[in-house]
Structure 1
Amino acid sequence: MMDSSIAFPTAKDSESSVAITRHSLSNHSTLSVVSATHATAVDVCTTMYGESTASSDAVERFYEPSAKFSSYENPVLTATSRSVITDIHQLSRQMSAIDVPRPLAMFCTLFRLQPPRTGFLARNIDDPLFQAVRVWTEIGEICENESFDGHRKTIVEHTLNILVLPGIHRDSHYRPQSSSDLLVTHSHATSHPSAPGLPVFGTSLTVPSPFHFKLHIITRLSFNEQGRITHHRDFWDVKDVMGLVPGVSLAQWIGTRLAAKSVTYVVSLWSRPSTDSAERAAQPTSAHDAMEMGMSPAEQFAFPTKDAHNI
C-alpha cells in the first residue's frame, strides 16, 4: 500500500528556499543595473555623435547632477560642469544634420524679413535646398565591469560616419539592426546606409564614395551607484583624425610603408658590422689557434694566419 502522506517542509528546506529567492532577486537587480548602464552608454553615444532626437533633459538624466563629480574629456576639449556638457550635446546634435536653405529663406533670415506664407514664393520655402552633411555613429563592442564599491565602467567602441552630400549617394542598402540598437528607444533609431556609394550613370553599379569619412572612437564612461555618469572620456586616433582630410589617407598609406622599409634598411646597416666582427673573431689568428680549433693543414692553408702575413 502506497504512503499518501505529504512531507512538510523542514526549517532547513525553508532556509535553502529563502537563500535561492534572495540569490535570484540579487541577480535580477544586478542585471537590471547592467542593462540600465548599457542602455545609457548607447544613448550617450548616439546623442553625442549620432543623429539623435533626444530631449533637452537627456544630460540631466544621464550625468551626475553635482558639477564636482561630472566631467567630459576628449583630445580637443575638457568640460567640468554639466552646463558645458549640455552645450556640447546641443552643438553635436546641430552638427549631425546640416542642410542648405533655399535662397529666399536665407535672404529673409539675413535681413530679418517675414517670409511669404501664400503664393508661388511660399511653396516649399521651409524645405532645405539640399542636404549638405549627415553624421551618425555605428555602435560596435560594449564592455562593462563593476568595482567593489558599486561603481561601474563601460567602454563603447563605435564608428563616427560623416557623409557629405548624402543626396547624391545611393542609400538603398541599409545595415541590419544590431543587438545594441535594440536598447535605443524607437525615436532614436534611424536607418543609415552601411556603405554609401556613388551610382554609376546608366547602370546599377556603385563605386566607393570619396565623401564618406569614418572616425573610430572609444568612449569610456564611469557610473556611480545610482547609475549616473561621473566621467565621460572619448579617445580618438590621430591617424584616423588626419584621415578625415582628403588626400591624407593616401599619403599616410605611402608614408607608413616607406617608414617601415627605412626601419628595415637601418636595422640591416646596424647588424652588418656586428656580423663581420663576429666572423673575424671566429677566424684563427695564429697557427697555434688553428691547431687548437682542429683545423686540418688544408684548412690552415685556406685561412692564412696573421703570422704568415707578417712573414
Structure 2
Amino acid sequence: MMNTAPVTSPKDKEVMAMTQHSSSIHSDLSLTSATYATAVDVCTTMYGENPASADSIDRFYESSASTYENPVLTATSRSVIADIHQLSRQLSVIDVPRPIALICTLFRLQPPRAGFLARNLDDPLFQALRVWTEISDICENESFDGHKKTIVEHTLNILVLPGIHREGSYRAQPSSDSLITASGPSQTTASHPSSPGLPIPGTSLTIPSPFHFSLHIITRLSFNEQGRITHHRDFWDVKDVMGLVPGASLAQWIGTRLAAKSLTYVASLWHTPSTTAARAAQPTSEHDAIAMEMGFAPAAPVASPAKQALEMQ
C-alpha cells in the first residue's frame, strides 16, 4: 500500500504562513519586553529605592564582559557594579534617628523595651533625604548580529527634607513616541510627589521648592543575544550637574547671556573696518557713479579742494 503525501491547498499555505509570522512577532515582542523590563529595573535600582539582590545583578549583567561607565567612574567587573547598586540604594533613603536610638547605637547599649523612651524608638526623627528616578522615554534598536541597544531617558530627583513637601504644580507627561504608554505601570513611587513644592501656611498654594534638585540622565544599555547587559553607560550634562549646586543655575543663566552679548560686541567690532571701507568706496552722487563707470576718478574728491581754495581767495 503506497503512502501519498497530503496535498496542501493555497488556503492552508496561507494559514501556515500567517502562523509562522505570528509566532515570530510573539518571539520578538517577548525579547523586546525582556530588554525593556531589564532597562527599567536597572535604572530604578541604580537611581531609586527598588531593592536588588545579588541574583538580580547576576541576571542583569553578563559575567564575562560587563562594564559600567559614567563621567566620574568606570567599573569593569560585575562585583563592582553590584557594590555601586548597593551603595546607591543606601544613599537613596537617609533618615535621622531619634536621639535615644543614636546613643544606644554609638555606645552599644541595650535599647529600652518599655516606657516613654521605648515609644516609637524604631521610627526616625525625620526624613532627611529621598532619591528616586522618573523614566520618560525608552528607545530600542537591534543590530545585524542579534545584539540590542536600549536608550533610557530619565530624571534623577533629589529631595531634601521630604516631610515638609507636598504635590506642587503641573507635571509634563511623557512623550507619545516613547515605549512607555499611559496604560502601562507607573515608573514613579506613589510616596514621592511628582512636583515637590513648599506649602504656603494658611493657603492651599505651593511654591517651587529650593530643596528639590533634578538631574537629567541618558542611560545606554547594550544587550547580547541572551538579553544580558554587556555595557552600561550613563551620560550627564554639565549644565544639569552644575544646577545641583545652590546658586549655580542663576550664575550660569547670567553668565551665558553675558557671553552671548560679548560675542555680539566682538562680531560688530570685527566687521566695522570692512563696512567703513565699503561705504567709502561707494559713489556719493550720480555724476560720481558715471565717472567711475567711465574709468575716471570721482569729481567730488577733486572738486572739494578746488572749492576750498576759491573760498580762501
Indicate the TM-score class for this superposition, using the shorter chain for normalisation.
Answer: 0.7 to 0.9
The answer to whether the 8 Å contact 1:42/1:183 transfers is no
In the alignment, which residue of structure 1 is the partner of 2:260?
Answer: 260
In the alignment, which residue of structure 2 is the partner of 1:41?
Answer: 39
The answer to whether the 8 Å contact 1:175/1:193 transfers is no
Aligned residue pairs total 295
Paired residues for 1:225-244 under 5 Å = 225-244=225-244
Q: 1 CA distance for matches of 2:281 and 2:186?
A: 75
Q: Indicate the larger mover: 101-110 or 84-93.
A: 101-110
In the alignment, which residue of structure 2 is the partner of 1:221?
Answer: 221
Paired residues for 1:10-49 under 5 Å = 10-49=8-47
Deviations, residues 11-50 of structure 1 (Å, cap 9, x unaligned): 4433332222111111110111111111111111111111
What is the letter of the counterpart of residue 258 of structure 2?
L
Q: 1 CA distance for matches of 2:186 and 2:106?
A: 37
In the alignment, which residue of structure 2 is the partner of 1:50?
Answer: 48
Q: 1 CA distance for matches of 2:16 and 2:132?
A: 49
Q: 1 CA distance for matches of 2:246 and 2:47?
A: 21
Q: 1 CA distance for matches of 2:72 and 2:63?
A: 24
Cα–Cα, structure 1 residues 21 and 37, in superposed 2: closer, same or farther, change >3 Å? same
Q: Indicate the larger mover: 103-112 or 271-280.
A: 271-280
Offset, 1:170: 1.8
Helix, strand or coil at the partner of 2:139: strand
Using the size of structure 2 for normalisation, the TM-score is: 0.84
Paired residues for 1:166-181 under 5 Å = 166-171=162-167, 179=180
In the alignment, which residue of structure 1 is the partner of 2:115?
Answer: 119
Q: 1 CA distance for matches of 2:183 and 2:200?
A: 35
Cα–Cα, structure 1 residues 50 and 306, in superposed 2: closer, same or farther, change >3 Å? farther
Q: Does 1:102 align with 2:98?
A: yes
Q: 1 CA distance for matches of 2:29 and 2:303?
A: 81
Offset, 1:202: 1.4
Helix, strand or coil at the partner of 1:46: helix
Using the size of structure 1 for normalisation, the TM-score is: 0.85
Cα–Cα, structure 1 residues 32 and 275, in superposed 2: closer, same or farther, change >3 Å? same
The answer to whether the 8 Å contact 1:39/1:184 transfers is no
In the alignment, which residue of structure 1 is the partner of 2:151?
Answer: 155
- Residue number among 71, 77, 82 corresponding to 2:78 in the alignment: 82
Helix, strand or coil at the partner of 2:130: strand
Offset, 1:203: 1.4
What is the letter of the counterpart of residue 128 of structure 1?
P
Q: 2 CA distance for matches of 1:58 and 1:180?
A: 25
What is the letter of the counterpart of residue 20 of structure 1?
M
In the alignment, which residue of structure 2 is the partner of 1:199?
Answer: 199
Offset, 1:218: 0.4
Structure 1, unmatched stretches of 5+, are 1-7
